[in-house]
Amino acid sequence: MIEIFDFRKGIDNGILQKLHNRSKLENKEIAKKVEEIISNVRERKDKALFEYTYMFDGINLDKSTVKVTKEEIKNAYKEVEGEFLKAIDKAIKNITEFHEKQKQSTWLDFKEGIVYGQIVRPLSQVGIYVPGGTAAYPSSVLMNGIPAKVAGVEKIVMVSPAGKKGVNPYVLVAADKIGIEDIYKVGGAQAVAALAFGTESIPKVDKIVGPGNIFVALAKRALYGHVDIDMVAGPSEVLVIADETANPKYVAADLLSQAEHDVMASSILVTTSLEVAQQVKIEIERQMEYLERKEIIEKSLKNFGAIIVVNNLKEAIGIANDIAPEHLELNISNAFEIIGEIKNAGAVFVGEYSPEPLGDYLAGPNHVLPTSGTARFFSPLSVTDFIKKMNILYYSKDSLREVKEDVITLANSEGLTAHANSIKVRF
């Protein structure tokens, strides 16, 4: 069960180090298998893709059946509830509105004899990986597909492993709602490789985004350079900063909601109140009893959960900035006053009525966030992940003449005399 650690007399770096190191993607055996799959799909294309799909998923596919049909999408609508359709429409509206504000424009600046600027272009083709099988992740479709759509990506190719009855109907409805037409019933490292290199059935893309298991994560990492990727995501995590005003029931529920993701997920409470720490521990044990994924939660909290008591908010913020959590909740009385002190977090949830699951599904900000401390240098998935920029430069002859000696000097300082000559021959 989750333990309470009292840091008021000093920080236990051993606990923090354990949390930092929990999700290292260093499995040589799986990495070797992933490399083999990638090589096979690159060389044998559809044939290898379909063989692996049968081997891992037990699904027999060929070129005529690998793509989801309009009839399958039509049938998917019959399998989802009306409440789901209403909720997903609200989510699409909110997520679209948020990402519309991230759009960037082409710009040019003019000086006498000089024009410079930047052209913004969307990527041409993007691949979205959506986990499948027995689970349903329609929110993953929205969070990856909507910013790509807002950016103006011409073609979105979605892959998702199918169960015996096909791709999950909730996933298909979500994809149809945002206009994704090219959906394929494949998953795993073989699907990632197919997107990276192209096969007879699946087109090659410029970038691959979306979460997956360790095979998918390692495949994306191995293929970076052949294609761009969003990030190599690790297990999910939440860190809650709470003071004496926090509601232990709410805090416990939020820690549990993250722990149910995976046995590798991390749920951490950092609080200035020993009483709150103790009450949260009691609430966790009480609420966990009626949760369906109790077994997963218990392992997650035992291995990578922690309740940490500190002297003050400054210490709490220092721990948060060190861990750089994917999700950071501020359940404190003066939350907006200290936001400026938060340096490292994927997303910040302010106040007791802004729980992390709100961001997972409906609020609008993207839920594809940096994990495993990478919030120190990575940002959430956004419209900017689906664009590229080209610089524009024009100088007239007179403008070049004014700076030619400076350019020649700088080129010669690097020993690049041909660079200098490129300027000299024009005068």
Residues within the annotated binding site for substrate? 236, 258, 261, 327, 360, 414, 419
Q: b/e string for 228-257 if b means 16 or more Cβ within 10 A?
A: bbbbbbbbbbbbbbbbeebebebbbbbbbb
Which residues neighbour 140 within 8 Å (Cβ) at sequence distance 6 or greater? Answer: 130, 131, 210, 211
Distance of CA 33 to the CA centre of its chain: 24
Annotated catalytic residue 327? yes
Ramachandran angles phi, psi of 312, nearest 5°: -160, 175
The amino acid present at 82, given as its one-letter code, is G
Rg over alpha carbons for the chain, rounded to the nearest Å, is 25
H helices of 266-366, where? 274-288, 294-304, 313-323, 335-338, 356-361
Beta-carbon count within 10 A of 275 CB: 11
Ramachandran angles phi, psi of 44, nearest 5°: -105, -5
- Residues belonging to the binding site for NAD(+) are 129, 190, 213
Query: Which of 135, 126, 128 shows the shortest CA–CA distance to 153?
Result: 126
Ramachandran angles phi, psi of 237, nearest 5°: -155, 150
- Residues belonging to the binding site are 129, 190, 213, 236, 258, 261, 327, 360, 414, 419
Which one is catalytic: 327, 352, 356, 367? Answer: 327
Could you tell me the two tokens for 67?
Answer: 């793509």
Which one is catalytic: 237, 283, 326, 352? Answer: 326
The CA distance from 104 to 127, in Å, is 22
Q: What is the DSSP letter of 69?
A: P
Beta-carbon count within 10 A of 144 CB: 30
Of all helices (H) and strands (E), which one includes residue 186? Answer: none
Contact criterion met (CB below 8 Å) for 55 and 62: no
Contact criterion met (CB below 8 Å) for 80 and 169: yes
Q: Report the length, in residues, of the chain.
A: 427
The CA distance from 144 to 324, in Å, is 22
Of all helices (H) and strands (E), which one includes residue 329? Answer: strand 327-331
Q: Which residues are known catalytic residues?
A: 326-327
